[in-house]
Amino acid sequence: MLSTLNSLQPRQLLTQILNFALVLSTAFMLWKGLSVATDSPSPIVVVLSGSMEPAFQRGDLLFLWNRGQDTQIGEIVVYNVRGKDIPIVHRVVRRYGGGATPLNLLTKGDNNMADDTELYARGQDYLERSKDIIGSVVGYIPFVGYVTIMLSEHPWLKTVLLGLMGVMVVLQRE
Amino acid sequence: MSAPKISVYSLSDLKNTTDDALPNYLTSLKFQQSHFLADVRLALGYSAVLIAGATFYADFKLGWDATKFWTLWAVVVYFILNGALTYWIWGVEKGKIFTGEFNETLVSIASSVKKHKPVYNLQVRYGKPGEEPRVLKIAAPFTRWFDADGFFVATPFQQWLATEIPPIGEADSKKVVGGGGGGGGGKKEEKVMEARQVKGHADSDKTTREGGARSRNSKKAT
């Protein structure tokens, strides 16, 4: 197998590497393009907990939109807790301010007993719409995101998957 | 590393091996190979990859809010470059495996195969610079230069090229089968076929060995 690589001339070798790099970079740039279009740093997220059942189950794939800033009560939003990089999907139950003053929101999981003040960072009693929210949910596909939960719970799977992809692209012509 | 063994049932193996052998043969004949097409393709591709890499690094270091504006432009430029690359491969390169020059004759050769047909098709353009190039379409089954075990045999392949393509025949007249400068009327064509068969019967063993040695030489020469 490796002898195939050795016998390649520099331009052919560069072409093989390029093919692999293009697969990765195109996937990344499509993601970034979607980010730019939706104005959200993470336009697709996977539900990690059951706190929004029965609306969303673990593994549901959510599509976010972050261009309308005037979020209403009842909308389901995704936010990052300050200092932690874990996205949380919960429903807006109260709004403060808005209009001329910055809009602040209080959220709660449908399946949770209490609202989210306990989840927020220390000293924070509400979410700032413009800072903390990464988007409102506009669509979802049930369950297909479960793969990523598997991948994050068993990190070695990631290495295996990436390695396999790399080997396939480099060794395959056409 | 001599000619590697391939699976004779894999059409892409057959084509790729032959595609690699053709420039090797022509450069060994002192054809000046031009790498312009490949270089432009690599430049387009790697610029795009570089932009994506820079975007990835900036995003990793600075975060989304700081890079939002530039990310938009990076995405736009990336997909423009990617489009240009696709156009270059399908619209300009069109399967060309060799472009070059010999004796002030420009030669470009594009190869193709049809799905599930073990026949190698070449489209050859050649002519003096500034003139309308002559277009030649030739085809031959891969069995002519691959033996049953999947080894590439250089001599019959080179003979085929030298006989069918006038500039190559000019550069390597010893490989032209059937005498003359290659090409010609129907009668000549028949003679060529005969000559090939006779030669094949007389010293097929010798041909194979010679072929193997040659391909090793041509690899070394590049």
pLDDT band at residue B195 using 50, 70 and 90 as cut-offs: very low
Three-state secondary-structure class, residue A165: helix
pLDDT of B214 strictly over 50: no
Where is pLDDT greater, at A151 or B179?
A151
Q: Which of B62, B71, B220 is best to mutate for the A interface (most A CBs within 10 A)? A: B71
Strands (E), A26-100: 44-46, 61-65, 76-80, 87-98
How far B72 CA sits from the closest chain A CA (Å)?
6
Nearest residue to B91 (alpha-carbon basis) of B46, B15, B133, B37? B37
Q: How confident is the model over A121-150, as a mean pLDDT?
A: 90
CA angle, B73 then B77 then B80, to 5°: 145
Of B16, B55, B219, the CB nearest to A32: B55
Residue B179: its pLDDT value, please? 53
Tens of pLDDT, residue by residue over B16-72, are: 999 999 999 999 998 999 999 999 999 999 999 999 999 999 999 998 889 999 999
Q: How confident is the model over B150-160, as a mean pLDDT?
A: 94
pLDDT of B184 strictly over 50: no
How far A24 CA sits from the closest chain B CA (Å)?
9
The rounded Cα A81 to chain-centroid distance in angstroms is 14
Cis amide linkage into residue A54, ω under 30° from 0: yes
Residue A86: its pLDDT value, please? 83
Where is pLDDT greater, at B122 or A171?
B122
Tens of pLDDT, residue by residue over B102-145, are: 989 999 999 999 999 999 999 999 999 888 999 999 999 999 99
Residue B80: its pLDDT value, please? 97
Residue B198: its pLDDT value, please? 42
Q: Give the Å distances, CA to CA, from B91 to B12, B37, B41, B88, B96.
A: 21, 12, 12, 5, 11
Contact (CB<8Å) B4/A11: no
Which residue numbers of A are catalytic? 51, 90, 116
Compare all CA atoms of chain A with the CA of B50 and give the residue at the minimum distance: A25
The rounded percent of chain B whose pLDDT value lies above 90 is: 69
Where is pLDDT greater, at A2 or B89?
B89
Residue A148: its pLDDT value, please? 84
Residue B204: its pLDDT value, please? 41
Q: Which of B42, B70, B77 is best to mutate for the A interface (most A CBs within 10 A)? A: B42
Compare all CA atoms of chain B with the CA of A29 and give the residue at the minimum distance: B75
A92 Cβ contact list (under 8 Å, min separation 6): A71, A72, A73, A74, A75, A76, A77, A105, A106, A107
Compare all CA atoms of chain A with the CA of B24 and give the residue at the minimum distance: A9
The rounded percent of chain A whose pLDDT value lies above 70 is: 94
How far B105 CA sits from the closest chain A CA (Å)?
24
pTM (two decimals): 0.76
Residue A4: its pLDDT value, please? 56
Both tokens of B170, joined, read: 């000019």
Is ipTM strictly over 0.90?
no
